[in-house]
Amino acid sequence: MAAGDLVQKGTTVVVGYNGVTFGTWIMQGSGEEPLADTKEIKGPQGATVTVLVINPRKQYTVNGVILSADLTAARAALIGGTASVNSTNCRILSLKLDFIAEDARCSMTVVKEDSMTYS
C-alpha cells in the first residue's frame, strides 16, 4: 500500500470529491446542490393545490490550491463567464482568490441551468 492511501474500517462511507472536479487545482473541497424556483398555486380556501417548478439547475462549488499556471486564468475570470466543472460548461457566479504564505487558494461557485448551454 502506498503512503497516504485511504483505507476504510467499519461502515463504508462516501469519501473524496465524488466526481466533482475542476481543471488542475489541487482540490480541497467541493459541493453540489440541485436548485429550482417554485411557485405555489393556492385554491379558494388558501390551500396549496399545485406547485410550479421553474428553472431547474445544479449549482457547484469547488475550492482548492491553484497551480502557478492557473493564476492568470483565475484572475481573468469574470462573473457570468464560463468554467467547466465535471466536463460541463457552467456560468460563474462567484470566484475568490486567497493568498497566504504557503499557497494560493481559489473558491468558485458555478451554475448549470437545465435550459441553458454555455460555450
pTM of the model: 0.81
Question: What are the Cα distances from residue 115, in Å, to 45, 55, 103, 111, 112?
Answer: 34, 7, 38, 12, 8
By the 8 A CB rule, do 15 and 53 touch? no
Q: Where are the domains of the chain?
A: 26-113
* Mean pLDDT of the 18-25 span: 76
pLDDT digits (tens, 9 = 90+) for 35-66: 999 999 999 999 999 999 999 999 999 999 99
The confidence score (pLDDT) of residue 1 equals 47
- pLDDT at residue 84 is higher than 70: yes
